[in-house]
Amino acid sequence: MPVHLAINNGTPVRTRPWPVWPQPARGALGALERVLHSGRWAISGPYRGAESAERRFARTFAAYNGVAHCVPAASGTASLMLALEACGVGVGDEVIAPGLSWVASASTIVGVNAVPVLVDIDPATLCLDPAAVEAAITPATRAIVVVHLYSAVADLDALRGVADRHGLPLIEDCAQAHGAEHRGRKVGSVGDIGTFSMQHSKVLTSGEGGAAITDSAALARRMEHLRADGRCYPAAAPAPGHMELVETGELMGSNRCLSEFQAAVLVEQLRELDEQNALRRRNALLLNELLAEQGLRPQDSSPGTTSRTYYVYAAALPDDALTDVPIAAVTGALTAELGFPISPAYAPLHTNRLYAPASRRRFALGDEHEKRIDPGRFHLPVCERLTRRLITFHHAALLGDESDVRDIATAVAKVLRHRGELRA
């Protein structure tokens, strides 16, 4: 009997279930119960004579990353906005960011009334190209934001060098790289500030949440004020029943605080992060070998990488295969074979429907500003070329065993072998 692709009513490669994400840490339920009965559900609630879960997470996460300070926040987006404003970014300033990333990499810059300058990516790592960054710097440039995308660590040696030569702060967006390392240092600790997302899909999650880390006491204090309506923690705890946040009048902020429930969950999830990262890494290395045998090119990481984190696994199709088939048709066929979502890469930000500042009046700060924030003004050929060839999937599929990895490779081989069905 002829073999057909599952998308054409053939038998799929796999029908067994896949690992589910998020996976609650062993201590998560107890941590939630303790907060529930603590009488304090937020840092803006009264002090009860014990360290808040938020302060405990901040202390633990700072130590994990080898830095002096951590400021938790409501989301990765909030964390990145805190970082930008703490570095003095504001109206009309240019901020260099990669053209391939989640939409928040650009929308947060616009959100502080600055101007995103989107630059092209390194074709091997899919992260910010240092040469493109250097070429994009102007007198209006105020900061560089580098994203460690999918499962790669960007070239921090070169990017730190560019930032230092031009006297610019380097902000590391580590939303997809919790626990990754560059030359033995955790990502987020090389730049002036590192930001993280703890949204549902991330390898360290509390459903929603974020954090910013830094070695600078001054930057940390600014971010504390920015995330809590201009308030910060005092040097000494107050009497029980009183507020633990003090109104200093130093800097106006907004409410971007993490709840006590989220912070308590993150303390427990962090205990299991390294073990889960190691499992994903082992499975990804095997998958790299299996897919390379079929001519695919798994995403690479920069030479300084000493430990990778796999948030999204990404690989480019062989140069000579399925060149006349839309990438969405390829990923749709793989999804049908595996019963697990295989997706194209993010759309480049200058063509991404989610990044549309003209759709919101708050960014209409004059004709000149609107022209500067128009994403259509950018030309990013590497982003455009690579995203037509990339397949990606979520890290949950790497939390199983070797048989799961081999199922993925088998599905890819089947789709390549029966590519004629997709053309038809």
Say if CB 109 and CB 116 are below 8 A apart: yes
Q: How far apart are CA 127 and CA 150, in angstroms?
A: 9
Quote helix, strand, coil % in the chain, to nearest 5: 40, 15, 45
What is residue 204's DSSP assignment? S
Asked whether the beta carbons of 104 and 113 are under 8 A apart, the reply is no
3-class DSSP string for 329-396:
HHHHHHHHHHCCCCEECCCCCCCCCCCCHHHCHHHCCCHHHHHHCCHHHCCCHHHHHHHCCEEEEEHH
Residues 6+ apart with CB under 8 A from 238: 47, 244
Residue with tokens 């600014």: 222
Question: For residues 217 and 192, is the Cβ–Cβ distance under 8 A?
Answer: no
CA nearest neighbour of 185 among 217, 149, 215:
215
Q: CB-based contacts of 191: which residues, under 8 Å, 6+ apart?
A: 146, 156, 160, 163, 169, 170, 171, 172
Residue bearing tokens 């001519």: 295
Residues 415 and 333 sit within 8 Å (Cβ to Cβ)? yes
Please choose, from the candidates 81, 43, 129, the residue with its C-alpha nearest in 3D space to the C-alpha of residue 226: 81
Residues 119-132: b if buried by 16+ CB within 10 A, e if exposed: bbbbeebbbbbbeb
Active site residue 202: yes
By annotation, the residues acting in catalysis are: 202
